[in-house]
Amino acid sequence: MTFTPCVPLLATINAMRPVFMIVMGAFLLLTIWRMTRGTHGWTPKVLMAGAILLAFGYSVVLPLYHADVLPKLSQVGFFSPNSDVAMGWHIVKLVAMNGGWMLFGLGLAMHAGIFETEKSPAPVESPSTSPFHGPAA
Amino acid sequence: MDLLLEILLTKTFLFDAFGVIGLGLLGLAAVRLSQRYQSWGGSLLSSGALLLLLGRLMALLRPQIFTPGLQDALGRSMSDVLLLAPTALMTMGLAGIVWGLWGHEQWLREER
């Protein structure tokens, strides 16, 4: 049994891609954790939920698919009798990746204030000086 | 299996739509961050989200658009480029998003 280090294999893009995805997923989670540390409310919760889903998808599920540990649903066949495992992991991948991007995008949109209207720069009269809306006197 | 569940899982349209909507929201939020708050991570984040969205849409539309007829018309090398483009785009997009997020986190730290 030979045990030579396979440097050419490691240097190919195909072999580097799972490593890249694992590192990126972990770094994404770390960055979001540092960003939301010490804050309260729904925005950090949504951001953190999305980041956890994405980190799980990118650093666990996709590399396992890439390494052929998990069976692909398209190869097993949807209607074959032993498609249960493939179907389960397919659902996990769908939910983790798509739900992760959805929650992450929603959290960052809440963080950036997409759903809030900008304050109007027009001067607003104070109600006490307005002759129409003031208290009846 | 239930028909609705089967459609949801085999066609995956609903899940894919969630992912694409989330990426769009991410891009919008990044543009807002870089425009309004002058966060330099925001511009990087928006370009990363754009690349990732482009790659994702290409990967989703490939079965519809990339038919064998088109493959023959384009020739070998061009169709290889088109096949590999979504992967490259998604890799670059992911890197851009993570780098931009890190930059935004640094900017937040300086602002506080």
* A4, pLDDT greater than 60: no
Task: Flag if A98 and B16 touch (Cβ within 8 Å).
Answer: yes
> How far is residue A97 from each of residues A46, B6, B15, B56, B97, measured CA to CA in Å?
15, 19, 9, 12, 15
Are A93 and A57 in contact by the 8 Å Cβ rule? The answer is yes
Residue A25 lies in a domain: yes
Containing domain of residue B28, as a range?
12-102
pLDDT digits (tens, 9 = 90+) for B38-54: 778 888 999 999 999 99
Identify the band that residue A1 occupies on the pLDDT scale cut at 50, 70 and 90. very low
Are B22 and A114 in contact by the 8 Å Cβ rule? The answer is no
Residue A59 lies in a domain: yes
> How far is residue B72 from each of residues A76, B11, B69, B79, B86, measured CA to CA in Å?
29, 27, 5, 8, 20
Which are the contacts of A62, defined by CB distance < 8 A and separation ≥ 6? Answer: A18, A21, A93, A97
pLDDT digits (tens, 9 = 90+) for B56-97: 998 888 888 777 787 788 888 888 888 888 888 998 999 999
Residue A128 lies in a domain: no
pTM of the full structure: 0.80
- pLDDT score at B72: 81
* A125, pLDDT greater than 70: no
In chain B, which residues touch A (CB < 8 A)?
A: 9-10, 12, 15-16, 18-19, 21-26, 28-30, 32-33, 36-37, 42, 87, 91, 94-95, 97-98, 101-102, 104-105, 108
Residue B18 lies in a domain: yes
Residue A91 lies in a domain: yes
Residue A7 lies in a domain: no
pLDDT digits (tens, 9 = 90+) for A88-113: 888 898 899 999 999 999 999 988 88
Q: Could you report the predicted ipTM of this complex, rounded to two decimals?
A: 0.84
Q: Which residues of B touch A35 (CB under 8 A)?
A: 101, 104-105, 108
- pLDDT score at B32: 87
* A19, pLDDT greater than 50: yes
Containing domain of residue A42, as a range?
13-114
CA-based nearest residue to B50, from B95, B93, B21, B20: B93
Residue A43 lies in a domain: yes
Q: Higher pLDDT residue, A82 or B45? A: B45
Domain count, chain B: 1
> How far is residue B49 from each of residues A107, B25, B90, measured CA to CA in Å?
14, 9, 9
Give the integer Cα–Cα distance in Å for B24 and A43. Answer: 18
Give the integer Cα–Cα distance in Å for A45 and B103. Answer: 21
Residue A134 lies in a domain: no
Residue B1 lies in a domain: no
Domain count, chain A: 1
Residue B109 lies in a domain: no
Residue B107 lies in a domain: no
Residue B111 lies in a domain: no
- Give backbone dihedrals phi and psi of B39, rounded to 5 degrees, phi first: -90, 120
- pLDDT score at B111: 79
Q: Which residues of A touch B19 (CB under 8 A)?
A: 97-99, 101-102
pLDDT > 90: percent of chain A: 31
Residue A119 lies in a domain: no
Minimum Cα–Cα distance from A77: chain B residue = B10
Q: Greatest CA span in chain A, whole angstroms?
A: 100
* B108, pLDDT greater than 50: yes
Q: What letter represents residue A6's amino acid?
A: C
